[in-house]
């Protein structure tokens, strides 16, 4: 038992009484443990919600992803959902951000990625993260409807990707004009998205082979 000695009021200064602080320490430890458990449970619930959102958007698109469907699939109550996300749109935006980040071979934006690295990263994303890639393509193809935040996010992402591809082309072939690099980059990005869309239609479609063919064609005209 942890103990201290404290001076008693109304007693001589050298007179002390025995005081136990163990209950206070135990109370603090228990409170800290409960806080950690609540935090851990919150993280687990958040990941279940995001996992359900990924699966539903990938299979049903935006309109088919409702809060009730998310909660049913995640096994959580609506109150738990709203404790973590203010709306369905915020949960979907989080999943979209994950998909956009996963496609990026250079998240630090050092500006050193090559055309080969950009294409390879996209193929790897499609093959290794099927749920996220389906979310990415479904939203890109169907659009965000009446959700301007999602629409704006996807448009900005597309523009940034085209810029990254164009910059990589310029590094690879410095003689290219900016206009020509931008045009070829836009064509390549759209063609890669078409390959990804076809992969959803035909799971046996050889994404890597066709992406490599696109890359070789882009190199041939550079």
| pLDDT value at 99 more than 70 | yes
- Rounded to an integer, the average pLDDT of 21-26 is 59
Q: How far apart are CA 92 and CA 158, in angstroms?
A: 18
CATH architecture of structural domain 92-221: Orthogonal Bundle (1.10)
Per-residue pLDDT tens for 149-174? 777 888 888 898 899 999 999 998 99
Please check whether the domain covering 3-85 is classified as CATH 1.10.10.60. Answer: yes
Per-residue pLDDT tens for 170-199? 998 999 999 999 999 999 999 998 998 888
Best mean pLDDT range from 4-18, 36-50, 140-154, 166-180: 166-180
Long-range contacts of 100-104 (CB under 8 A, 24+ apart): 100/136, 100/153, 100/157, 102/129, 102/132, 103/136, 103/161
With tokens 């071979």, the residue in question is 105
Domain residue spans of the chain: 3-85, 92-221
**pTM reported for the whole predicted model:** 0.68
Tokens of 134: 């389906």
């Amino acid at each position: 038992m942890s103990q201290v000695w404290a001076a008693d009021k109304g007693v001589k200064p050298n007179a002390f009484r025995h005081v136990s602080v163990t209950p206070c320490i135990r109370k603090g430890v228990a409170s800290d443990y409960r806080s950690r458990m609540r935090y851990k449970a919150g993280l687990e619930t958040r990941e279940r919600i995001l996992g359900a959102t990924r699966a539903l958007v990938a299979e049903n698109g935006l309109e088919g992803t409702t809060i009730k469907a998310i909660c049913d699939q995640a096994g959580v109550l609506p109150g738990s959902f709203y404790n973590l996300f203010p709306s369905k749109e915020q949960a979907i935006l989080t999943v979209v951000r994950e998909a956009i980040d996963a496609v990026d071979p250079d998240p630090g934006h050092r500006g050193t990625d090559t055309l080969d690295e950009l294409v390879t990263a996209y193929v790897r994303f499609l093959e290794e993260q099927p749920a996220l890639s389906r979310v990415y393509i479904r939203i890109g193809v169907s659009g965000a409807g009446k959700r301007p935040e999602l629409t704006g996010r996807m448009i900005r992402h597309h523009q940034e990707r085209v810029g990254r591809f164009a910059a990589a082309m310029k590094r690879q072939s410095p003689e290219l004009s900016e206009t020509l690099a931008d045009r070829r980059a836009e064509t390549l990005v759209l063609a890669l998205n078409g390959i990804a869309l076809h992969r959803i239609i035909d799971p046996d479609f050889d994404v890597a082979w066709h992406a490599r063919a696109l890359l070789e064609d882009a190199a041939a005209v550079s």
